Amino acid sequence: MRAWSILIFIGYVVFGGVMEFEFTYPEPILGERDGYTTLYMEGGMNMGTPGEPEYPLYCYNIALPPGSEMERVEILEMEVEEIEGKHILYPYQPEMPLTPEYSHSEFVPLKDGFLNRKKPYPEEIIQHVRTGEKGGYPIGTFYICPLRYIPAEGKISVIKRIKVRVHYRENARKVWRKHPRVVNFMAEEVKRLVINPKDVEAYKNALLTAPAGASKLGAGDWEYVIITPPSWRDTWKRLTEWKTRKGVKARCYPTDSIYSNYTGKNNAEKVKNFIIDANNTWGAIWFLIGADLDSIPHVPCYGYVFSIPPQTDKDIAST
């Protein structure tokens, strides 16, 4: 194998925040299947589009300061290693349901003319840059594909080391105060998801001192809330007492109060808005919907699961 380094230096002006990370990748594992070259890299997940080669992807989650939005990921340095020989990479196959009737699927070959392609495949090394949120903590996500494949030449090269700079915009979204219990609980959850867990501790104070949002609830300290019709309240009394004895402060909250005090297109959305309020105001972590569909009807929504032949399920409960 031949190795070389590509150093990329780009001038820029920083208007927001930046973070830099360096990643290394293992040796690819090559194989042969049906006349094609298979390639696997430990820790990666092989993805692709049917009719095009499959390729490894690595997912990275980064904890960002509260209120921030990830904008782009810039490549600073890259060390690439070329794999000897000419190769035709195995085409990605459609996902199949794990049911007996779909156990044998028709092979999907590479698209006509794909092997004439002279541009690297896939085109983008950095893919799917986006920002989500968990418990008030923004999480930026991006993927790196360490594979470089030139179909027309049959050449494969892999990235051995890459250094990137993450650009994020501060104050991109409103930050509301969170209950201390929620801040601490979610911090531990976020730490397990991101590659910079030590930064999460520094973000706590921003969530504890942010402006408080409007609340329809009185003061309280409840960790476990049962949403139930008034007529069912006594049914759940033993559970709330047992939870409280175990050290988890629990209570019931009636659906009629939710429906009369919260806004929403339907009762399910009103319940959702109550849960958000109780999480912020009381520090509620756990919610049990203790009712039947007559009391808290579910809301059908569109759901897509890959299947052959295609099937659409428009009756997946969202509550």
Exposed / middle / buried, residue 69 (Cβ in 10 Å: 0-12, 13-18, 19+): middle
Residue 315, classed as helix, strand or coil, is strand
The whole-angstrom separation of Cα 268 and Cα 259 is 9
Exposed / middle / buried, residue 227 (Cβ in 10 Å: 0-12, 13-18, 19+): buried
141: part of which helix (H) or strand (E)?
A: strand 137-144
The tens digit of pLDDT for each residue in 287-304 reads 999 988 887 877 776 555
What is the reported pLDDT for 61? 97
What is the reported pLDDT for 12? 30
What is the reported pLDDT for 16? 58
Do strands 224-228 and 250-254 pair parallel, antiparallel, or not at all (unpaired)? parallel
What is the reported pLDDT for 298? 77
The reported pTM is 0.82
Residues of the chain with CATH 3.40.50.10390: 214-319
Below-70 pLDDT ranges, the chain: 1-16, 97-104, 301-319
Q: Is residue 139 a contact partner of residue 64, using CB atoms and an 8 Å limit?
A: yes
What is the reported pLDDT for 301? 65
Residues of the chain with CATH 2.60.40.3800: 2-183
What is the reported pLDDT for 291? 86
DSSP 205: H
Residue 302, classed as helix, strand or coil, is strand
Residue in this structure with the two tokens 């300290």, named with its chain if needed: 221
What is the reported pLDDT for 236? 95
The CATH number that domain 2-183 falls under is 2.60.40.3800
> Would you mind telling me the total number of residues written for the chain in this entry?
319
Topology of the domain covering 214-319: Rossmann fold (3.40.50)
Instruction: Tell me if the bond preceding 300 is cis, omega within 30° of 0.
Output: no
